[in-house]
Structure 1
Amino acid sequence: MTGARVLVVEDAETIRAALESSLRTAGHDVSTRTDGTRLERDIAEFRPDVVVLDVMVPGRDGFALLAVVRRISLAGVVMLTARDGVVDRLRAFEAGADDYVMKPFVLAELVARVNAVLRRMGRVSARVQVDDLVVDSDSGDVSRGGVPIALTATEFKLLCYLAVNRDRVLSKTQILTNVWGYEDYDTNLVDVFISLLRRKLEAHGPRLVHTVRGRGFMLRAQQRLAG
């Protein structure tokens, strides 16, 4: 999954930085802004595939910015808001938003929503294959060598995160933040679930989830290990 351009308009520094890190880790080219003052120019120059808009940014609010995107671009739009009113959600969808995510949110869910929008646009595939392992994030199906593998919800979320970022080393903190939604927690939780996931995957073939000592874990095809 590479090449998708995501423009993030979010004034909260911690949220903006976390979104940028998670979307980049997922393989996207990311540009961030604190407001939509230059949105028309940003869209013309960056040509985003998806725009993530906070409803409450300074100046023109997210609904006004959504109208700008719809007027000059075919980009998908994911709205972010702390508001939980049905009226706001309906307003966003009626104005052309592709998705609407409530704060606080789990980063992995937001990345998944962005990827879902990209899939509907034909930009990315829901199906990832690594050797004989096939993971379909839309259907929830996992198989190895054609044999279905039953995973818990958390195991599946962990595998999807590893699969989307295949061939990349992911730290325990990155995994905690993107799969569980927090980083200030015992990293042994990651070790436990990696062990559970390996046990199920390795019942049907050689190891694909590898430990990179001192750095984290990665999902990598066997043939990439030669030499």
Structure 2
Amino acid sequence: MIDDRPALARGSGQHVLVVGGPELAELLSTTLELAGYRTAVAATGAEALTRAAEHRYDLVLLDTTLPDVPGLGRRPLPPATHRPPVLFLTACDALDSLLPELGPGEKDYVTQPFRVAEVLARMQVLLRGAGPVRRHEGGPRYRDLVLDDTLCQARRGTLALDLTPAEYRLLRHLLVHADRVLSKEQIGRYVWGDSRGDSRGDNAIEQLVSRLRRKVDRDAPALIHTRRGFGYWLGRSDVDGSATGP
């Protein structure tokens, strides 16, 4: 019997720091080791900062429900400390208060309870920094579109974009998956943290994309496109000839 399910994203020996309680840390560290990563574990935010100051990690998985994690970013690391990408593991009802906590760098999140396949996929995106999306000190960028994750701000060329939190999350999700079509379900799950991804309906997502498109593409060549029947993508219009408007 042929198994046609897509293979899980795998690592190639990258060193990952897992920050969480005993059960979560054991689950993730075991899974990641089997998937080709090397892992270390920290049980508290304070321990994570100590480890990050002593060792160079390629990525951090951080459980934001730990009691000492809020305010973690106010405990500065030494200036020379490497700041790896961070994947936050957060509760749905904490999304509005989720802030980058470990300084500049790539950041993303998954909501709990999570699927291991989603964690592995998000890790791979953070680690590879592939395609036209490049890292800079504050966050990712695509051509003249730049995001600053430390301030949750975006600009297109010299123009600052006045984005709502939902618009910023949508733009970031489209940007780190540049030149790839994302379904409405994928967008809804990422932007609003709903496990089903469609609780607010297609119309809410269409309106959100439309508002974001007006801001991002107002005075420059269009970057946000619709693939009718499939979803939305960010990139150059010549990547896919089927790009259309809202």
- Output one character per residue of 1:20-71: Cα deviation in whole Å (capped at 9) or x when no partner: xxxxxxxxxxxx97265698xx39x5246xx6x6x8xxxxxx46xx79x949
- Identity over aligned pairs, percent: 30
Contact 1:208 1:219 in 2 (8 A): yes
2:227 alignment partner AA = V
Mapped contact 2:61–2:87 kept (Cα < 8 A):
yes
Greater percentage in helix? 1
* SS in structure 2 of the partner of residue 224 of structure 1: coil
1:190 matched residue in structure 2: 205
| Structure 2 length-normalised TM | 0.52
Equivalent of residue 137 in structure 1, options 149, 153, 162: 149
Match of 2:27 in 1: 34
For the structure 1 residues 110 and 74, does the alpha-carbon distance in structure 2 shift closer, same or farther, using more than 3 Å as the test?
A: farther
Q: In the aligned structure 2, how far is the partner of 1:199 from the partner of 1:111?
A: 26
The correspondence of residues 30-179 of structure 1 with structure 2, limited to 5 A, is 34=27, 36=29, 42=33, 46-47=37-38, 62=43, 70=51, 74-75=56-57, 76-80=59-63, 82=65, 84=67, 86=68, 103-105=90-92, 124-125=135-136, 126-179=138-191
The corresponding residue for 2:120 is none
Please tell me the root mean square deviation across aligned C-alpha atoms, in Å: 5.0
Query: In the TM superposition, what is the alpha-carbon distance from 1:219 to its structure 2 partner?
Result: 0.4
Q: Is the Cα–Cα contact under 8 Å of residues 158 and 179 in structure 1 kept in the other structure?
A: yes
Higher relative contact order (CA 8 A, sep 6+): 1
Aligned to 1:206: 221
Q: Note the C-alpha offset of 1:159.
A: 1.0
TM-score normalized by structure 1?
Answer: 0.56
Provide structure 2 residue ranges, at least 5 long, that are not aligned to the other structure: 1-11, 76-82, 108-126, 130-134
Aligned residues: 184
For residues 88 and 216 of structure 1, do their structure 2 counterparts lie closer, same or farther at Cα, with a shift above 3 Å needed? Answer: closer
The Cα of 1:148 is off from its aligned counterpart by 2.2
**Partner SS, residue 181 of structure 2:** coil
